[in-house]
Amino acid sequence: MASDLVECHSGYTYAERPTALRWEGQRLPIETVEAAWRVPGGRRFRVRTEDGRVFELFYGELYDEWRVHPVSTPPPAAGPPPPEGL
């Protein structure tokens, strides 16, 4: 996976908090980090993007790579109301 899949804030260490990700050719800003934890070899994050999708991100420290896995799709957009009489 390419290292440009995830943009992140890095303070005293790299990959402290993801701020945006690339998915299907689109840049998706991250609205909130719902969970973050360390695992052997890296860090995992569960994030929600501004459009409501949830992703799980893994940063592998050994190979300096990100992996992005979708967890949920965005809620359906509200369509026009049905015609009267139906």
pLDDT of 1 strictly over 50: no
* Average pLDDT score, the chain: 87
- What residues does each domain of the chain span? 3-72
What lies within 8 Å, CB to CB, of 52 at 6+ separation is 74, 75
Sorting pLDDT into bands at 50, 70 and 90, what band is 30?
very high
pTM of the predicted model over 0.85: no
Report strand pairing: 6-9 vs 54-60: unpaired
**pLDDT tens digits, one per residue of 51-82:** 999 999 999 989 989 999 999 876 666 667 77
| Both tokens assigned to 68 | 């992005």
Q: What is the pLDDT of residue 86?
A: 58
> Which residue carries 């005293």 as its tokens?
12
Q: For residue 47, what is the DSSP state?
A: E
What lies within 8 Å, CB to CB, of 21 at 6+ separation is 5, 6, 7, 27, 28, 30, 47, 49, 55, 57, 68
